[in-house]
Structure 1
Amino acid sequence: MAQTLEQALADFSPGLPFAVAFSGGADSTALLVACARRWPGQVRAVHIHHGLQAAADGFEAYCRAVCAQWGIPLALRRVQAGHAPGQSPEDAARKARYQALAEAVKNEWPEVRDVALAQHADDQVETLLIALSRGAGLPGLASMPAHWQRLGLNWHRPCLAVPGTALRQWLQSQGQSWVEDPSNTLETFTRNRIRARVLPALAEALPAFRETFARSAEHAAQAQEVLNEVAAQDLAHVGVPPRIQALQQLSRARQVLVLRHWLRLHHATTPSTAQLHELLDQVAACTTRGHQLQLKVGRGFVTRDGGCLSYLAS
């Protein structure tokens, strides 16, 4: 069931004081102002200036004004997020933003351990649809978690059950302005096309799609938790680095799980589906000591080292 902003914050229990990532857009403005009202004097704001568009200076000025109006301490950080070959500019900017948010919180307010982000129900649906369009597995279909730990901080998305329109309506009812990001209307971005074209069609055909899609994402997240436990148990059995004979005793599906887990946990890399299937074929073919293996996987190469697999980063 869709929530109001007030209902979402009633269910939100951050450690105090806490920080809010504040872009100046409608979503983060609603979250920041509502939190400042609910927890007076306990809220901090962090604004990240990406320098990606001419309007960025205006966003910063607006954030300064809102924080001055509400007496909210504000930390400003500027990032230039260049992207690596094969990496999308959006992904590079997102990683740089998280790093800058964490650095700002730790340096400005060492007592703060919790950070709130303003993604809402529509963002969650968009994330799920993008994952489906890419043929994602359970980790992608689980979409955005409501709570997680990263970079030594606790991160929260308290508004994942609140529609974006509800946040804007709340701001209007409070007489609070916000700034519009000009890039939000550019349909060259997949997320913007979904927002402009797909969500209105879904609302007409499936009025409860936000709630039902969110349940599906939650089910996927729960199933992935079970698979992570199985993968951890299998990795303990096959060893680190994985022993080839022990891998061969597992079903192909469990080999996929344990190899993904090994590569992600110990080498911070994610193989493609095609790379994993080729790796499984190579593992199955390792029936003699002389069989060599060197296969591009993720950002490096999986090789054979005696009776075990080894990973060499590029």
Structure 2
Amino acid sequence: MAASPTPRPKLPEAPGNPAAAALAGLQLPLPLAVAYSGGADSTVLLLAAARRWPGQVQAIHVHHGLQEAADAFEAHCRSTCADLGIPLQVRHVHAGHAPGESPEEMARVARYQALANGAREAGLQAVLLAQHADDQVETLLLALSRGAGLPGLAAMPPVFQREGMVFVRPLLLLSAQAIRAWLGEQGIAFVEDPSNADTAFTRNRIRHVLLPALEECFPQYRETFARSSRHAAQAQELLETVAEEDLARMGGTPAITALQRLPRARQGNALRHWLRKAHAASASAAQLEELLDQVADCTTRGHRIRIKVGAGFVQRQGERLQYEAGPAA
């Protein structure tokens, strides 16, 4: 006699999950993954996604190994997913960084690579990320503190592609307070990352010092800041369209004479777009101004242009600009 199949664990009812409304209207390619750290935000998202798309959701946990609690985080995720009957994939990464590189940025890059690879290997079509409204405000304030342009002020997009995978942030209008309040009411366990309390990190200082002050002075700041970020994103999209049209008229790469016919701001827009899209390079404000000055002064065949940008150089090759990256530079 054949053994009876093991019954699938039933998800808790847990009514009122604030993430459920955010997912209700989404039409996403299935099956999909939730980036599950074990923290409050990803816990709420995982529970809501598993109810929204039964049997179509998996969890991916990225183990960075950057702190002593990492093994405990993994154990919690394994236990929770086993209890809920949600398939879990654990990806171990080693996010080393070179001198001068940000360890946080390198960890972020490694995390996205791990999530994309894990989802692709499991045949999944998208990855849900649990960043929320407070994370969006923190990102915007960080961008302002660095004098960022429109791409920075646009903060985090709700949908984007990276490493060949679709990533979706459905909780960008949901506050951290609403998430934690609901988990507390339901008695649902989650892990606390001890590094989140370390105010040596700028993002944590914003979270613990600036956000409470904003809450007191401007109670609607999450909504208004999000609106400003959306405006910035729309403006940036328009600028990218203009840059693509300008470069297309030049044959795809910057032509010096054609650039000189454009207003200076439009020249800068085309050059930034070309560097970012074609070469994954980002010019600082000073580098771009120097490059624009050199383009303006380039009136003779012998005028030489060679300016450091990112890991390489922008230089003149005949009547065009080219980017030479890496060791060859």
TM over 0.5: yes
Relative to structure 1, the CA distance from residue 165 to residue 179 in structure 2 (aligned partners, 3 Å threshold; closer, same or farther) is: same
CA offsets, 1:225-283, max 9 Å, x none?
Answer: 11110000011122333111111111100011100111111111111111000000011
Unaligned 5+ segments in structure 1 are none
Tell me which residue corresponds to 2:3: none
Q: Quote how far apart the aligned CAs of 1:114 are.
A: 1.1
Tell me which residue corresponds to 1:7: 21
Aligned letter for 1:80? H
Aligned letter for 2:28? P
Work out the percentage of aligned pairs sharing the same amino acid: 62
Structure ranking higher on relative contact order (CA contacts 8 Å, 6+ apart): 1
CA offsets, 1:13-56, max 9 Å, x none?
Answer: 22221100000111111111121122221110000000000000
Paired residues, number: 310
For the Cα contact (< 8 Å) 2:40–2:179, is it kept in 1? yes
One of 212, 222, 225 as aligned partner of 2:234: 222
Unaligned 5+ segments in structure 2 are 1-16
Q: Which moved more, 1:66-75 or 1:240-249?
A: 240-249
Q: Establish whether residue 58 from structure 1 lines up as the match of residue 84 from structure 2.
A: no
1:60-75 equivalences in 2 (<5 Å):
60-75=74-89
Tell me which residue corresponds to 1:248: 260
Q: Establish whether residue 172 from structure 1 lines up as the match of residue 184 from structure 2.
A: yes
Counterpart CA distance in 2 for 1:154 and 1:290 is: 47
Counterpart CA distance in 1 for 2:156 and 2:272 is: 20
One of 222, 225, 229 as aligned partner of 1:213: 225
Counterpart CA distance in 2 for 1:241 and 1:216 is: 32
Tell me which residue corresponds to 2:45: 31
Counterpart CA distance in 2 for 1:34 and 1:4 is: 8
CA offsets, 1:201-230, max 9 Å, x none?
Answer: 000000000000000000100111111100
For the Cα contact (< 8 Å) 2:159–2:169, is it kept in 1? yes
Q: Quote how far apart the aligned CAs of 1:313 are.
A: 0.3
Counterpart CA distance in 2 for 1:30 and 1:21 is: 11
Tell me which residue corresponds to 1:106: 120
Tell me which residue corresponds to 1:293: 305
Q: Quote how far apart the aligned CAs of 1:82 are.
A: 1.0
Counterpart CA distance in 1 for 2:218 and 2:166 is: 34
Q: Secondary structure of the equivalent of 1:54? A: coil
CA offsets, 1:65-119, max 9 Å, x none?
Answer: 0100110011111111112333211110000000011111111x21x11110000
Tell me which residue corresponds to 1:84: 98
Q: Establish whether residue 21 from structure 1 lines up as the match of residue 64 from structure 2.
A: no
Q: Which moved more, 1:214-223 or 1:169-178?
A: 169-178
Q: Secondary structure of the equivalent of 1:45? A: strand
Q: Quote how far apart the aligned CAs of 1:149 are.
A: 1.8
Q: Quote how far apart the aligned CAs of 1:12 are.
A: 2.5
Q: Secondary structure of the equivalent of 2:323? A: strand
One of 270, 275, 286 as aligned partner of 1:274: 286
Q: Which moved more, 1:150-159 or 1:139-148?
A: 150-159
Counterpart CA distance in 1 for 2:18 and 2:151 is: 28
For the Cα contact (< 8 Å) 2:35–2:61, is it kept in 1? yes
Tell me which residue corresponds to 2:316: 304
Counterpart CA distance in 2 for 1:64 and 1:305 is: 56
Counterpart CA distance in 2 for 1:14 and 1:171 is: 25
For the Cα contact (< 8 Å) 1:5–1:166, is it kept in 2? no
Tell me which residue corresponds to 2:198: 186
Q: Secondary structure of the equivalent of 2:99? A: coil
Indicate the RMSD between aligned Cα atoms, in angstroms.
Answer: 1.2
Q: Quote how far apart the aligned CAs of 1:169 are.
A: 1.5
| Higher Rg of the two aligned structures | 2
Q: Secondary structure of the equivalent of 1:302? A: strand
Q: Quote how far apart the aligned CAs of 1:173 are.
A: 2.5
Counterpart CA distance in 2 for 1:226 and 1:84 is: 36
Aligned letter for 2:233? A
Aligned letter for 2:71? D
